Amino acid sequence: MNNKGQSQIGILISLAIVLIVGVILLQASAQQVGSTVNTINFTNVTFAAPANGGSLNLQGKLVTDFVAINRTNGTGVEPGPIIAAGNFTINNNQVTNGELTANLTVDDAEFAGFDWNITYTTQPATFISESGGRALANIIILLFALALLVVSIMPVVRQKFL
């Protein structure tokens, strides 16, 4: 019986299993961290504005960089003028059906009922608000990748595989 050869094959099989499972977990974890540390950009989203005083839920819990364009302005000419910020209100972190959302409320009857094109950046519901938490989430993924690298190198260093 070749004990050294059998132990080396056992180590290689164990290493392959650990690395395959580790890479699968790394990929799944990195995707989840990506959705909690990145903002989402929406460009040229078209919707029919609600009536004056009416509100509409936007995707995400906090909206920044909001630009609204009156798509037709009632004239049929596209695009219409940019709608000034005083004609609508955005309320961030509003609870709607148990979820944090941003709310758009039309404050001027002149712009109610028309099609609007909106462009904005939002934080998804899973976004980590604190910068330290976002940095820590990214560091955890980097350390996990480094741990997989060390696990893959250690048998070579210990057993002198080459």
Q: What is the pLDDT of residue 61?
A: 86
Q: What is the pLDDT of residue 162?
A: 53
Q: What is the pLDDT of residue 70?
A: 76
* CATH (residue range 40-123): 2.60.40
Contacts of 9 (CB under 8 A, 6+ apart): none
Written as one letter, the residue type at 92 is N
d(CA 26, CA 145): 7
Contacts of 86 (CB under 8 A, 6+ apart): 107, 108
Q: What is the pLDDT of residue 107?
A: 86
Q: Where are the domains of the chain?
A: 40-123, 130-162
Q: What is the pLDDT of residue 144?
A: 93
Tokens of 144: 């996990």
Q: What is the pLDDT of residue 24?
A: 93
Q: What is the pLDDT of residue 117?
A: 86
- Those residues of the chain that have pLDDT short of 50 are none
Among the listed residues 85, 120, 116, the one whose alpha carbon sits nearest the alpha carbon of residue 101: 120
